[in-house]
Amino acid sequence: MRWAKMISILMAAGLLLSLSAAAQTPTEVAGKCMTCHKEKSPGLYQQWYQGKHAAHKVTCIDCHGANEGEPDAFMHYDGLIATLVTPKDCGKCHEKEATEVANSYHAKAGQILESKDAYLAHVTAGSPVVMIGCESCHGAKVEIDPDSPNKLAAKSWPNSGIGRINPDGSLGSCNACHTRHNFSKAQSRQPEACSKCHLGPDHPQKEVYEESKHGNTYYTNKDLMNLDSDTWVVGQDYYVAPTCATCHMSATVDQASTHDVGARISWTLRPAISVKKDNWQQKRANMKNVCVSCHGQSFADGHYYQFDAVVELYNEKFAKPSGEILRLVRENNLLENPASFSNDIEWTYWEIWHHEGRRARHGASMMGPDYTWWEGMYMVVQNFYFKLIPQARAYDNAEVNAYIDRLLTEDPMHAWVNQETEGLKKQIRSGEMEQIYEEFFDER
């Protein structure tokens, strides 16, 4: 009896403690979060304290608070929380922005997990590289580990990839651009916010921007950019230079800001052959509206005239013939090894479009001359004529050779390889060479 009475007393005490904890208000819980983190993780606390969230009394529990039954929820002292803050959580206050992100290409970046890029990294390198080298930018599918203190599996967390696949079904990660826990507007408006991912041999937007006059004038006039302004309208709040955010997201006098980064992009420059996007005319008009905040209309029109010509040239002269050559090689069962990327010619083709062709197209899109030519089309030319074609001819297949022969003799864009140098120089001087490419300068 005595033991039963003692157990009843202990159970009652536990119930009272539970009720006491449950009875705490969100303000009380938030206060404990701040008190503890100020001591245990002072850098995190100071980031929050110096930011706009603290100024508006948005506390830890407002973002990290979880409901019973959520897959990543766990009891942390006196509050049920989730480590992972998703776009669904942010959308409770930032509804417009969360909806725009959900509809954007950024939110879908995690789908690379099923692409050839991921296949290449998994097979030729290995899965550990994929975690850091692919999923860190594109996003991972965040897995639940019930034995982990924060319920998140170490293989998929930490991850702030822009297309992260979250346990609550939402896609994306707001802190990929708005770095926690300050979430500074100024930081997200600068090109460095994008350059973690948009750089390197296959999509060097960072490097192209830095070599362009846009990048040059930004870095030499950064103190005039008014980056902390509550409003940030180009031509009003700042005017010396654009950043990535200016062109792709931020407001103009006539256009509201958007978190759909594709709303102003008319070409898709990622695939082997570029195509115009759905509703591309409106998207181009949106981007030109940004351009004319600082440039005349003829400047903007002239840029697109030149950019379109480079993309069309790349498509017709190199991308389509390269793809056709590889198609013929495959259809004639000429590849030595069965696995993708296990043959030299496949690597050559991949680098022509995935690396060099993209560099050329991105260089042209952002006014980067070196990336358009030396880092881009020059290398496309070299590898098309002096790697891909010799590799294809080495199979000594009649159908493949016939296609290449027609290309190099009948297509005026490729006929130069069989002509004398002096004759080609005369064509250049007379304007005949330019006439060969006149179709790429048509208005589109």
Q: What pLDDT does residue 31 have?
A: 83
Rounded CA-CA distance 261/275 in Å is 17
Residue 21 in this model has a pLDDT that exceeds 60: no
- Per-residue pLDDT of 275-286, as tens digits, reads 999 999 999 999
Rounded CA-CA distance 217/220 in Å is 5
Residues 72-86 have a mean pLDDT of: 94
- Per-residue pLDDT of 142-188, as tens digits, reads 999 999 999 999 999 999 999 999 999 999 999 999 999 999 999 99
368 to each of 163, 177, 307, how far by Cα in Å?
A: 28, 24, 11
> Is residue 238 classed as helix, strand or coil in its secondary structure?
strand
**pLDDT over 90 for what percent of the chain?**
89
Q: What pLDDT does residue 18 have?
A: 43
Residues 252-264 have a mean pLDDT of: 97
DSSP label at residue 113: G
Name which of 397, 387, 393, 407 is nearest 332 in CA terms: 397
Rounded CA-CA distance 222/191 in Å is 11
> Is residue 353 classed as helix, strand or coil in its secondary structure?
helix
Q: Are 99 and 90 in contact (CB under 8 A)?
A: no
Residue 367 in this model has a pLDDT that exceeds 80: yes
Q: Are 264 and 247 in contact (CB under 8 A)?
A: yes
Average of per-residue pLDDT values in the chain: 92
Q: Tokens 């009272």 appear where?
A: 16
85 to each of 31, 71, 91, 422, 429, how far by Cα in Å?
A: 19, 13, 10, 66, 62
Least confident of 58-72, 105-119, 186-200, 414-428: 105-119
Residue 333 in this model has a pLDDT that exceeds 70: yes
Q: What pLDDT does residue 251 have?
A: 98
Domain ranges of the chain: 297-441
Rounded CA-CA distance 305/84 in Å is 45
User: Using DSSP, how many helices (H) and how many strands (E) does the chain show?
Assistant: 25, 4
Cα torsion 433, 437, 439, 442: sign:
negative
Residue 247 in this model has a pLDDT that exceeds 90: yes
Rounded CA-CA distance 412/409 in Å is 8
Residues 200-225 have a mean pLDDT of: 97
Q: What pLDDT does residue 3 have?
A: 46
Residues 67-93 have a mean pLDDT of: 95
Q: Tokens 């062109």 appear where?
A: 247
Name which of 386, 428, 430 is nearest 408 in CA terms: 386
List, in sequence order, the alpha helices (H) in 314-397.
320-331, 344-350, 358-365, 369-372, 378-383, 389-393
Residue 78 in this model has a pLDDT that exceeds 60: yes
Q: How many residues does the chain have?
A: 444
Q: What pLDDT does residue 308 have?
A: 96
- Per-residue pLDDT of 87-115, as tens digits, reads 999 999 999 999 999 999 999 999 888 88
Q: What pLDDT does residue 13 have?
A: 42
Identify the band that residue 24 occupies on the pLDDT scale cut at 50, 70 and 90.
low
Residues 382-400 have a mean pLDDT of: 98
Q: Tokens 């790697």 appear where?
A: 387
> Is residue 373 classed as helix, strand or coil in its secondary structure?
helix
List, in sequence order, the alpha helices (H) in 154-240.
185-189, 205-211, 213-220
Rounded CA-CA distance 407/410 in Å is 6
